[in-house]
Chains A and B, each alone.
Chain A
Amino acid sequence: MRVSFKLFATLTDLLPPEREGNVVVLDVEEGTCVQDLIDRFRVPPKSAHLVLVNGVFVPPGARAGRRLMDQDELAVWPPIAGG
């Protein structure tokens, strides 16, 4: 199945070079969970602050068990402070 993976602000650099802007489309195995992708791309735990699947917030406790579906969009926001 295919999912979109978006990393925002300072996290964008963790995406592979083939990223388009802040997003990369990935082929992943059935059963892949939210936390699996966060770990695979080495997003530091403190930076995985706001995690959204299709725009809906996934709280920290639910990330390990939340399975992704085909065409899902997973987005991760770090805390940002710039002004």
Chain B
Amino acid sequence: MNDDQLLRYSRHILLDEIGIEGQQAFLDARALVVGAGGLGSPAAMYLAAAGVGSIVLCDGDEVDLTNLQRQILHDAESVGAPKVLSGRRTLLRLNPEAHIEALQTRLEGEALVEQVRLADVVLDCSDNFSTRHAINRACVATRTPLVSGAAIRFDGQISVFDLRKNESPCYHCLFPEDAAGEELRCAVMGVFAPLTGIIGATQAAEALKVLAGCGTTLVGRLLLLDGLNMEWRSIRLERDPSCSVCGRPSEGGEGPH
């Protein structure tokens, strides 16, 4: 780190749990943020400000006037522009040193797996179950840590799935694909603006902890936020040995069947 970086990141370096080593880990890291909307906005902004060296921002949509109530990556001038270009501009204003890769597409198939493979951490800030399951499959296949957040109306959920750890469940253990309810989007249901900020910022916090290897992440726990009453609940998650995505036979060879 040069003198400017030591100064810019001094408030992180002062933290024993992060220090020079943790900050260097941020600078060397590559984060994939899928979705540049309500959750992706605060998540990517905190990652950029915190010094994550490479951020890949992926979204196929363009900025709409109805996004501006909560999607703080974008502003009135960017209405009609691709979200990833608007987002890159904001992130570079926050931290000109960051390398921001803008992918104006809905990542799928091999391209998704390749981006996940290149990433040190993946933040799922997407808005539909099929993308969420595709990201999870790619993270399981490549053993890439996944920080998953979701928000609708006043309610939010967040967890971390880290398949580098043997005991970690995957997203599919929690939400089996056939159990997914009907998809109701913010456009129909509404969403409370700061709720996406709370959940997205929490995703950034968990991603940075994964990168620095500090503290205890949300692996094996799901946080539920009742934003209307401002109550958090934490429930324990266990991996499903018979999960069709991450199911692994137990050590002794005694399979579930």
A10→B179 contact, CB < 8 A: no
Q: Does B185 contact A (CB under 8 A)?
A: yes
Tell me the bound Cα distance from A22 to B125 in angstroms.
Answer: 25
Contact with A along B170-207 (1 / 0, CB 8 A): 00000100011101111001010000100000000000
Tell me the interface secondary structure of chain B in the complex: mixed
Separation of A56 and B179 alpha carbons in the complex (Å): 21
**Option from A12, A22, A50, A82 in Cβ contact (under 8 Å) with B224:** A50
A55 cross-chain contacts in B, Cβ below 8 A: 233, 235
Contact mask for chain B residues 218-257; partner A; CB cutoff 8 A; 1 contact, 0 none:
0000101010110001011000000000000000000000
Contact A49 B175 (CB under 8 A): yes
Write the nearest CB–CB distance from B27 to chain A, whole angstroms: 27
Q: Given A21-B229, A80-B155, A82-B189, 9 other A-B contacts at CB below 8 A?
A: A10-B152, A10-B184, A22-B229, A47-B181, A49-B179, A52-B235, A81-B180, A82-B127, A83-B124
The residue from A22, A47, A83 contacting B39, defined by CB atoms under 8 A apart: A83
B175 and A82 within 8 A (CB): no
Instruction: Return the 7 tightest CB-CB contacts between A and B, nearest first.
Output: A82-B152, A83-B127, A9-B155, A80-B150, A57-B235, A83-B39, A83-B35
User: A46 at interface (Cβ–Cβ under 8 A)?
Assistant: yes
Q: Evaluate contact between A9 and B153: CB separation under 8 angstroms.
A: yes
Closest B-chain residue to A83, C-beta based?
A: B127
Which B residue's beta carbon lies closest to that of A6? Answer: B226
How far does the alpha carbon of A9 sit from the alpha carbon of B196 in the complex, in Å?
14
Query: How many residues of chain B get a CB closer than 8 Å to chain A's CBs?
Result: 40
Which residue in chain A gives the minimum CB-CB distance to B235?
Answer: A57
CB proximity of A60 to chain B, nearest CB, Å: 10
- Residues of B near A52 (CB, < 8 A) are 233, 235
Q: CB within 8 Å of B: which residues of A?
A: 6, 8-10, 12, 21-23, 44, 46-47, 49-50, 52, 55-57, 75, 77-83
Q: B: which residues have CB within 8 A of A? A: 35, 37-40, 124-129, 132, 149-157, 175, 179-181, 183-186, 189, 191, 196, 222, 224, 226, 228-229, 233, 235-236
**Pairwise interchain contact A81-B155, C-beta atoms closer than 8 A:** no
A83 and B155 form a contact (CB under 8 A): no
Selected contact of A77 from candidates B126, B129, B155, CB within 8 Å: B155
Q: Shortest CB–CB separation between residue A58 and chain B, in angstroms?
A: 10
A81-B129, A83-B40 given; A10·B153 CB < 8 A: yes
Select one of B124, B152, B229 contacting A80, CB under 8 A: B152
A–B complex contacts, Cβ < 8 Å, 27 sampled? A6-B226, A8-B155, A8-B226, A9-B153, A10-B152, A10-B153, A10-B181, A10-B184, A22-B228, A22-B229, A44-B181, A46-B181, A56-B235, A57-B235, A79-B175, A80-B151, A80-B156, A81-B129, A81-B150, A81-B152, A81-B183, A83-B38, A83-B39, A83-B40, A83-B124, A83-B125, A83-B127
